[in-house]
Amino acid sequence: MQLSDRIGRRMKLQDLHVLIAVVQAGSMGKAAERLNTTQPNVSRSIADLEHALGVRLLDRSRQGVQPTEYGRALLDCGVAVFDELRQGMKNIEFLADPATGNVRIGCNPFLTASFVSTVVDRLSRRNPRIVIDVMVADADVLQRELRDRNVDFLIARRFGPIADDRLEFKMLYDDAFVVVAGAKNRWVRRRKVKLADLVKESWVLPRPVTALRSVFAEAFRANGLDCPTTTVFTNHAELRTNLVMTGRFLTIFSTSVLRFSTTRQELKILPIELPLARVPVGIVTLKNRTLSPVAQLLINCASEVARPMTKQRP
């Protein structure tokens, strides 16, 4: 009997679900608790899978269980299978009622507070019964969540090529960067300002380990300047905005943050031309993954909101 025949006749989705639960829990006992079943039932499911495939899927020890090479291969397949089933159910729900459904997206704090909030608001007004779940985190966390299929797609900046060839990037618009001060800041009244004039000012910038911080540092180096002494390091969007609005701090924002921010009247762009390349903002998806119609609706809405920015430059 061919392997494909054995799988079709003897491999059960429930057993595959049990395998995923066991690996996530680290033991059969904990998996049984999560699945609200008994440990013998869990052991039987794993044994049935191993018998159907003819290979060992788990290594057992006193510390728990770990997937073998065969187990890891099946886990990758299993996660994809259940994700495709979920997407299929979403398609059926959408066909039954196109006005409902849910979508999960990931985004960084600044894009969430500006561009993404505008996209979500527009889609929600058109489709008030659609549920939109937005996960806010740093790039590394978001990419892991996307690979694990915990989010449908990301809206993210791209700093150079994407290192993970499992991911695909489709550009929405490219973003420029500007020096920003609060409306009460003394530099707002100046018609001419050089970056060198601002080195000794109080700056609030992203933390040094981030890609965005390295981009900003390059702007100063291009002007023959050291990166200014930063008073506050933070990746928190609201904190940076609030500190700048006091009039005491300067920062560097992307133009899209200002375009869509509700506090843009309190923030002023200083007349400084930064030697920074534009950074693309776009949709990051997992290659060969089927997206639900609701996810595609949100992507279409994001493209619509971004369209004016592809036609004009600040």
What single-letter amino acid sits at 280?
A: P
Q: Is residue 306 part of a domain?
A: yes
- Do 296 and 165 belong to one domain? yes
Whether residue 22 has pLDDT greater than 80:
yes
Q: How confident is the model at residue 1 (pLDDT cuts 50, 70, 90)?
A: very low
Tokens of 150: 């915990």
Q: Is residue 87 part of a domain?
A: no
Q: How confident is the model at residue 249 (pLDDT cuts 50, 70, 90)?
A: very high
What single-letter amino acid sits at 246?
A: T
pLDDT at 124: 94
Mean pLDDT of 54-68: 83
Provide the CB-side half-sphere exposure for 149 (13 A, CA): 19
Q: How confident is the model at residue 73 (pLDDT cuts 50, 70, 90)?
A: confident
Q: Is residue 304 part of a domain?
A: yes
pLDDT at 314: 44
d(CA 152, CA 131): 13
Cβ(135)–Cβ(106) under 8 Å? yes
- Do 106 and 219 belong to one domain? no
Q: State the total domains in the chain.
A: 3
Domain limits for position 112: 97-175+279-311
Does the predicted model carry a pTM greater than 0.75?
no
Cβ(247)–Cβ(184) under 8 Å? yes
Q: Which residues pair with 132 in a beta bridge?
A: 103
234: left (phi over 0), alpha (psi -120 to 50) or beta: beta
d(CA 51, CA 74): 14
Final residue before a domain boundary, out of 39, 56, 82: 82
Q: How confident is the model at residue 302 (pLDDT cuts 50, 70, 90)?
A: very high
Tokens of 287: 């290659």
Whether residue 10 has pLDDT greater than 70:
no
Q: Give phi and psi for 28, each to the nearest 5.
A: -70, -35
